[in-house]
Amino acid sequence: MESGIVQSLTKEAILYADNHLLAVNKPAGLLTQPSGTDRVSLEELAKRWVKEQYGKPGNVFLEAVHRIDHEVSGVVLFARTSKALSRMNEQVRAHTVRKIYQALLEERPPSDEGELIHFLKHGSHRAEVSCADDSAAKEARLRYRVLRPSNGGRWLVEIELLTGRYHQIRAQCAAIGTPIWGDVKYGAKKRYDFEGIALHHRCLEVNHPVRGERLTFGAPPPAGWGDVF
């Protein structure tokens, strides 16, 4: 599913749906939310799906609980009611939401697993590594582990996001000399063979906003990743 031709959500793209939540597997190259331009967004497609699936008249309430970069694929969770949105936002603030990514890196990380801590601030459409005493910078933390080398000589890693900073994974991977395949903005040598970059939001764990049970949403990788998973 490529953003240039996406006009509706397929059955396979819907990971979970009930009266409170909607989880979707976003393709790379598609905006999560409207940008004020004529570019289509996942939110617009998801609203259209809800309207058609449930026969909803008038406007559809649907708000993203979190966003992923348009270059990135994977799980995006929407709240279908204002109550669900409020309760999901509380979970985000309480750090009870767990986000797992997978990425293909151009170089092998310095160790097979570890925790990265940097201080990031906004630059010009990118995140910049700064120092702890920079008042404009915020702490960024993630855990990673190397899963295996890919068939193309790149390294498949699993990343648990511990904080949610702008372009965090991309900036932190670049900071240790292992940029994500295709992420030329952050120092990758070559563009990705497919749309976007080789970063995928693989798994999201949350508590249901009404029933309370733990839910896990898993997104299968893009078709182009078939030879490395």
Q: What is the pLDDT of residues 69-101, one digit of tens each?
A: 999 999 999 999 999 999 999 999 999 999 999
What is residue 35's predicted lDDT score, i.e. its pLDDT? 81
- Pair of tokens at residue 173: 């991977």
pTM over 0.85: yes
What are the residue boundaries of the structural domains of the chain, listed by start?
11-225
Q: What is the pLDDT of residues 197-225, one digit of tens each?
A: 999 999 999 999 999 999 999 999 888 77
Q: What is the pLDDT of residues 28-37, one digit of tens each?
A: 989 999 887 8
- Is pLDDT above 60 for 228? no
Q: What is the pLDDT of residues 105-164, one digit of tens each?
A: 999 999 999 999 999 999 888 999 999 999 999 999 999 999 987 666 789 999 999 999
What is residue 2's predicted lDDT score, i.e. its pLDDT? 41
- Is pLDDT above 50 for 38? yes
Residue type, 123: G
What is residue 229's predicted lDDT score, i.e. its pLDDT? 47
CATH for the 11-225 domain, from 3.20.10.10, 2.60.40.1180, 1.20.1530.20, 3.30.2350.10? 3.30.2350.10
What is residue 3's predicted lDDT score, i.e. its pLDDT? 42
- Is pLDDT above 90 for 8? no
Q: What is the pLDDT of residues 156-196, one digit of tens each?
A: 999 999 999 999 999 999 999 999 999 999 999 988 766 78
What is residue 151's predicted lDDT score, i.e. its pLDDT? 64
- Is pLDDT above 90 for 55? no
